């Protein structure tokens, strides 16, 4: 049993998605066995449970989007579809005996630090107490519903892409999709061949990076299973592409890597969209990757089909029969999908979290969400955020990030277990210095070149890690304990 100054060190993990499952495995591996995972839903899986829309797939190569200790020889494609990723996490949780540690249908609504411990309350009124809280709540989990007049008047089916209604049959129907992010692009490719009429309502054009997504043959999958080093070779190559190419590009708007990405996106548009009018509608007026880059092998093909239409007139309102645009036209629809993304600044919220003296995260994050190295917030001792504010959510594979962060957090937990302190959290001075350096570094990133995106906070500052993968790995290797306030 884990000990902190002679007492059991109880840990609560919030969320049973990718990071929560990982936390359970790594905690037990490090000797921490007194923990529970609270999951608000009836199943694990996080974003892969929530998002089940047609065409959903990960834009990180599948062999890189796996835990390093659990390679998967069975991926069907280079970029895995969502249902396979969900099945992977379910399989890992079963294999590593995580399921008995999860309390499903248990949403944490309050998390208050009192008398040296975290006091938690659930939506059902249950109470719990913990020495440590690990928030594995993810980044993109709180749907953003657009404020469009008349949405409630629509007589057809209407739902957010993250709340897909599979009871609604769309084959042969008239379908509209609002939004042009990664989700909307994947939906477009999946639905256009099946529906009678498809209308994509575009406020902002997107740059599209061409990719291929070939299937792995049965022979290749058998070879992966027989010799995992084949998987590691693919993984290493994918990692090099992300860390040495994409990650270096986005943090330096003037880099040769960024120029190469922009060239590939421009050629994709110029060479694959035949109609000059449509081509100009699809041409963004900002630099590639300023918004999250879209990866797709077939979006341009789909949007050029006879039954597809790109609508660039602004939406005036939604009516009973469809969507009315600024040119006065009524776009008659049977179903309307809101592919309008997520509130990327929520993190553990809407859970009420109060640290020392009753100060809440909403108070501390009134201007912008901040955390030292995206993990720890001053005044909130023994609480750690996985994939928290200002982490490399747009740069690297989130699984890579979470594995490195867990290694870091466990080194902090060891301080508690060994009796070196009873409370540990980032100091205000270290957090302020980190945030100032982050803001300064972000000025050179592609995200700062003039577009509006979910990467930007309300001041227009990119909220993602603005440095290299190597620097992140170095920071995560070992905590600088002088940056932490430690209470005996």
Q: What is the pLDDT of residue 396?
A: 85
- The one-digit pLDDT tens for each residue of the chain (488 residues) are 444 444 579 999 999 999 999 999 999 999 999 999 999 999 999 999 999 999 999 999 999 999 999 999 999 999 999 999 999 999 999 999 999 999 999 999 999 999 999 999 999 999 999 999 999 998 878 899 999 999 999 999 999 999 999 999 999 999 999 999 999 999 999 999 999 999 999 999 999 999 999 999 999 999 999 999 999 999 999 999 998 899 999 999 999 999 999 999 999 999 999 999 999 999 999 999 999 999 999 999 999 999 999 999 999 999 999 999 999 999 999 999 999 999 878 899 999 999 999 999 999 999 999 999 999 999 999 999 999 999 998 778 899 999 999 999 999 999 999 999 999 999 999 999 999 999 999 999 999 999 999 899 999 999 999 999 999 999 999 999 999 999 99
Burial class (CB in 10 A: 0-12, 13-18, 19+), 332: middle
Long-range CB contact pairs, 319-324, < 8 A, 24+? 319/150, 319/153, 319/154, 320/153, 320/154, 320/155, 321/155, 322/154, 322/156, 322/174, 322/176, 323/176, 323/178, 323/199, 323/201, 324/150
Q: Provide Rg for the chain, Cα atoms.
A: 23
Q: What is the pLDDT of residues 333-370, one digit of tens each?
A: 999 999 999 987 889 999 999 999 999 999 999 999 99
- Name residues whose C-beta falls within 8 Å of residue 97's C-beta, 6 or more positions apart in sequence: none
**pTM recorded for the entire structure:** 0.96
Characterize the bridge pairing of strands 423-426 and 484-487.
antiparallel
Characterize the bridge pairing of strands 102-103 and 35-38.
parallel
> How many C-alpha atoms does 53 have within 13 Å on its Cβ side?
26
Q: What is the pLDDT of residue 1?
A: 42
Domains in the chain, CATH or no CATH each: 3-44+98-142+343-487 (3.50.50.60), 151-215+257-338 (3.50.50.60)
Q: What is the pLDDT of residue 244?
A: 86
Q: What is the pLDDT of residue 344?
A: 78
Q: What is the pLDDT of residue 200?
A: 98
Q: What is the pLDDT of residue 6?
A: 46
Q: Among candidates 322, 314, 315, 316, which has minimal Cα distance to 154?
A: 322
């Amino acid at each position: 049993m884990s000990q902190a100054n002679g007492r059991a060190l109880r840990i609560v993990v919030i969320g049973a998605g990718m990071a929560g499952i990982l936390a359970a495995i790594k905690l037990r591996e490090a000797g921490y066995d007194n923990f529970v995972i609270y999951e608000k839903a009836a199943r694990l899986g996080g974003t892969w449970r929530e998002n089940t829309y047609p065409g959903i797939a990960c834009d990180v190569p599948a062999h890189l989007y796996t835990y390093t200790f659990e390679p998967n020889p069975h991926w069907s494609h280079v970029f895995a579809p969502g249902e396979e990723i969900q099945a992977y996490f379910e399989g890992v949780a079963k294999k590593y005996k995580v399921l008995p540690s999860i309390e499903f249908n248990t949403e944490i609504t309050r998390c208050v630090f009192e008398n040296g411990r975290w006091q938690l309350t659930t939506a059902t009124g249950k109470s719990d107490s913990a020495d440590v809280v690990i928030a594995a709540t993810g980044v993109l989990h709180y749907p953003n519903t657009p404020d469009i007049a008349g949405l409630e008047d629509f007589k057809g089916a209407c739902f957010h892409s993250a709340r897909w209604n599979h009871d609604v049959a769309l084959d042969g129907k008239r379908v509209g999709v609002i939004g042009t992010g990664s989700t909307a692009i994947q939906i477009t490719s999946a639905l256009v061949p099946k529906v009678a009429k498809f209308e994509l309502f575009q406020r902002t054009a997107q740059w599209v990076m061409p990719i291929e997504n070939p299937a792995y043959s049965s022979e290749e999958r058998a070879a992966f299973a027989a010799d995992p080093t084949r998987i590691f070779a693919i993984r290493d190559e994918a990692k090099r592409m992300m860390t040495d190419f994409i990650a270096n590009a986005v943090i330096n708007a003037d880099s040769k890597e960024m120029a190469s990405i922009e060239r590939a996106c421009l050629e994709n548009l110029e060479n694959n969209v035949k109609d000059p009018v449509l081509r100009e509608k699809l041409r963004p007026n900002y630099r590639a990757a300023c918004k999250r880059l879209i990866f797709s092998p077939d979006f341009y093909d789909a949007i050029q089909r006879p039954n597809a239409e790109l609508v660039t007139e602004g939406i005036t309102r939604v009516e009973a029969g469809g969507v009315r645009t600024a040119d006065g036209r009524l776009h008659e629809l049977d179903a309307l999908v809101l592919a309008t993304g997520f509130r990327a600044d929520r993190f553990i919220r809407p859970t009420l979290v109060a640290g020392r003296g009753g100060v809440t995260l909403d108070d501390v994050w009134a201007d912008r969400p901040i955390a030292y190295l995206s993990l720890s917030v001053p005044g909130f001792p023994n609480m750690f955020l996985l994939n928290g504010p200002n982490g490399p959510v747009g740069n690297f594979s989130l699984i890579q990030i979470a594995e490195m962060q867990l290694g870091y957090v466990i080194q902090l937990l060891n301080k508690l277990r060994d009796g070196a302190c009873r409370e540990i959290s980032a100091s205000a001075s270290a957090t302020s210095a980190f945030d100032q350096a982050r803001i300064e570094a972000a000025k050179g990133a592609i995200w700062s070149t003039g577009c509006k995106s979910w990467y930007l906070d309300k001041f227009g500052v990119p909220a993602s890690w603005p440095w290299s993968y190597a620097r992140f790995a170095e920071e995560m290797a070992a905590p600088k304990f002088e940056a932490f306030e430690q209470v005996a």
